[in-house]
Amino acid sequence: MKALVLAAGRGERLRPLTDSIPKPILEAGGRRLIEYPLLMLKRAGVTEVAINLHHLGDQLSATLGDGASLGMRIRYAPEPRLLGTAGPLPGLADFFAGQSFVVLNSDTIIDLDLRRAIECHRDRNALATFVLRRPAQNGVYSEILMDPHGRIGRMRLLTDRANRGFEEFQAPTVEPSSALASYMFCGITICEPSVLKLPLAPPPSSLMGDLFAPALRAGAKLYGFEYEGYFRTIDDLAAYEALQQEFRSNPPQLAFVD
């Protein structure tokens, strides 16, 4: 099992901090943000990781180096232009080398036992498994709808946040709406190597909208793994400041952090 950590974004909503520092190496709780997903991967035995780079990428690679200080091996995938969340995958086919792999965000702190999610993924013989959580009570977000057996039946993807625009995708055979439960995507996907054979639009391309939503319509076996623990995603300055305050006043106890 290998992994791709998505770290190429510009971090626009964290400006001016990200004008001079790439978002993944902003600090919280005495660690760089990207160290949290890396350490979570390491706890699950995933130590070979690719990280895509674009905005101030040299700073990020200089900070983490080859990954040895974290007990990992890191390969960098520079992007002269942004490829989106799915766009880096074809160029990393040689890195994945026919193995299953995880794709995850670099700006999320989640106390997930990834080993359990991987076991669930394998037991179901899924093409891909998304780590999901129950939705927040407020906010505008994409919905992933899952049946009682964990299979994804429908996706309602946010396409225009400002105008609350959505696009809906549905599996060919799906449980009645009353049997589907709504979830939010945690930004972690476990993939089989055959994901790399799925049709993909030219970059920039989205993992959900351009890769997995069409696969859902075509009947692909996509599943969800429900997660209920600690979860923080650093979307903007307010979220980052709240995280800093949390670490000062009531730091989370994360299983993968010594």
As a whole number, the mean pLDDT across the chain is 92
Calpha distance 30→41 (Å, rounded): 19
| pLDDT at position 221 over 90 | yes
| pLDDT at position 210 over 80 | yes
| pLDDT at position 174 over 80 | no
| pLDDT at position 36 over 90 | yes
Please identify which residue in the block is written with the tokens 């300055």. 237
Q: How confident is the model at residue 139 (pLDDT cuts 50, 70, 90)?
A: low
Let me know how long the chain is: 258
Calpha distance 163→63 (Å, rounded): 38
Peptide bond into 204 cis (omega under 30): yes
| pLDDT at position 136 over 70 | no
- End-to-end, the C-alpha distance of the chain in Å comes to 23
| pLDDT at position 104 over 80 | yes
Quick one: which of 130, 97, 106, 116 has its CA closest to 39?
106
DSSP assignments along 184-219, one per residue:
EEEEEEEE-GGGGGS--PSSS--IIIIIIHHHHHTT
Q: Out of 44-48, 91-95, 117-121, 202-206, which region has the weakest mean confidence (pLDDT)? A: 202-206
Phi, psi (deg, nearest 5) at residue 219: 95, 15
Percent over 70 (pLDDT), the chain: 94
Q: Which domains does the chain carry?
A: 2-249 (3.90.550.10)
Q: How confident is the model at residue 160 (pLDDT cuts 50, 70, 90)?
A: low
Q: How confident is the model at residue 107 (pLDDT cuts 50, 70, 90)?
A: very high
Residues 6+ apart with CB under 8 A from 20: 56
User: Up-side HSE of residue 30: CA atoms within 13 Å toward CB?
Assistant: 6
Phi, psi (deg, nearest 5) at residue 95: -65, -45
- Mean pLDDT for 120-149 is 88
Phi, psi (deg, nearest 5) at residue 32: -70, 145
